A and B are shown apart, each in its own frame.
Chain A
């Protein structure tokens, strides 16, 4: 069974803190994605990576950075958390093109106080 895991289900941080969200997939997929999900807005792409050490900005990259040092692991970094980054963060992986299945992790609900 394919599996995408995320390091935390719930996280509470203070404004200004550096936040790391980690995602691991066990399917040897090339592509990995970070989305945030807010009510009424659907899933919005923050960053994606199509190979180790490669990354591309999504639709809302401001305030975020990413790291992909190993194929199975894709990290999302909030350099200085702000209250408007309170959201559900979803990681996904995909083998090939946009028509392939994306496999999602369970999500991390981040609250920034």
Chain B
């Protein structure tokens, strides 16, 4: 079985400051990793994913995450946040050999960007 831990339920940060949202996972098999973002009253949107290859993945809006297999982590970072980045962020995994690729989510981290 897999599990995902997001230790920080809320992260307050000032605009233009850097931010890191932490994600650790537990799995006995290889997994794919994802970060999803959820804006108020909206569904989940894929922010970025790690499937294979380079362990550093980037999104189009300046976020990046690095897969660290030895530490079983997939932390999300952004060097300078905007007010519009305020949202709930979910880390998720799915086993690479799962027939359905159903997602196992963490409990989420609310990023609150203040002016």
The answer on A and B forming one complex is no
